Chains A and B, each alone.
Chain A
């Protein structure tokens, strides 16, 4: 039974909460105010970690989808779904925070800049993934189709990441990841950003595990419902044993 939070996860949650509170202190008390942008520059410490997590999420969804297509094991599909759903949430927050930050700096909520456009395309691709999961008839075929969409969506990630280098864009240069350059951030700002990335990644990982457990419960519930259906509609002469009921469950049916 996937029930209450175990001691390990409780410790994880408490450490994450402490880390997040410490990050908030660093952001608002320790990190200096940026000269040109002023206080609004503190949005960086939340917008960049959200963007980083979105990229990591896409990578995990695509990897889990590849593993599902290779092995056919349901757990990889569950990992992909849990990561995609939380990833879309984080991606939405990243786009919204970016738009709110853009308004006072660029004087527009949105512009069809290369970085923003490729990010929006990625977001729509993963919303499509979730819609496919929600509306396609459950079963292995739907899971395989969703896995293909997730892998195709991941192709957009390098375009998003390198958009600022590939095209002329209003978006600032890369601050994080393999191609990050010296950004002109002070050491306090860089440390705060690093701690913020760690804190939000930990929180995100906790949410993914939570969602994965819900998915496991959904699968378990689906199996139990099938058992109950088989029990209610079994032929009168046939005794209802677990073995006969298992035999009646269609092999390819979903949850």
Chain B
């Protein structure tokens, strides 16, 4: 469990897996008790479920944007950590004093 928590991409993926079906189910049954929504719709002579596709698009685009950004940042961090590790190793091997230079750890 702790090993999984140390990887942001795993948590983000788990969140995505939970959110998308939850969002789909919630959208399908949105609006609290259906009879209340239907009553309000009848009173106002409007269709409360109109434009659900727009609502779906709004939530999907927002979550896709957030997850894509977190994924990209997380991947960039991993790549840089590998590069930093390689460069530190190179500096340690090349320098006679064995000091790894100015890079901070």
User: Per DSSP, are chain B's interface residues mostly helix, strand or loop, or mixed?
Assistant: helix
Interface residues of B in 58-105 (CB under 8 A from A): 58-59, 61-62, 65-66, 69-70, 73-74, 76-77, 80-81, 83-85, 87-88, 90-91, 94-97, 99-105
Q: Evaluate contact between B55 and A17: CB separation under 8 angstroms.
A: no
Q: Which of B26, B48, B81 contacts A33 (CB 8 A)?
A: B48
A89 interfacial contact with B, CB 8 Å: yes
Number of A-B contacts defined by CB within 8 Å = 193
A249 interfacial contact with B, CB 8 Å: yes
A29 to chain B, nearest CB (A): 6
A1 to B2 CA separation, bound complex (whole angstroms) = 19
| Binary contact readout A208-242 vs B (1 if CB under 8 angstroms, 0 otherwise) | 00110110011011011111100100000001111
Q: Evaluate contact between A17 and B30: CB separation under 8 angstroms.
A: no
Q: Known contacts being A38-B50, A100-B58, is A227 close to B103, with CB within 8 Å?
A: yes
User: Per DSSP, are chain A's interface residues mostly helix, strand or loop, or mixed?
Assistant: helix
Query: Chain B contacts of A129 at CB under 8 A?
Result: none
B103 to chain A, nearest CB (A): 4
Q: Evaluate contact between A221 and B83: CB separation under 8 angstroms.
A: yes
B58 to chain A, nearest CB (A): 5
- Given A29-B29, A38-B50: 11 more A-B contacts, CB < 8 Å: A1-B105, A29-B30, A33-B32, A33-B48, A36-B46, A104-B50, A210-B73, A210-B74, A210-B77, A227-B103, A231-B91
Q: List 23 A-B contacts (CB under 8 A).
A: A1-B105, A21-B18, A28-B23, A28-B30, A38-B49, A39-B31, A40-B52, A46-B59, A46-B62, A86-B69, A89-B65, A89-B66, A92-B65, A93-B65, A97-B61, A217-B80, A220-B104, A231-B95, A241-B95, A242-B97, A242-B101, A245-B102, A249-B102
**Chain B contacts to A: CB under 8 angstroms:** 2, 5-8, 11, 15, 18-19, 22-23, 26-27, 29-32, 36-37, 40-41, 43-44, 46-52, 54-55, 57-59, 61-62, 65-66, 69-70, 73-74, 76-77, 80-81, 83-85, 87-88, 90-91, 94-97, 99-105
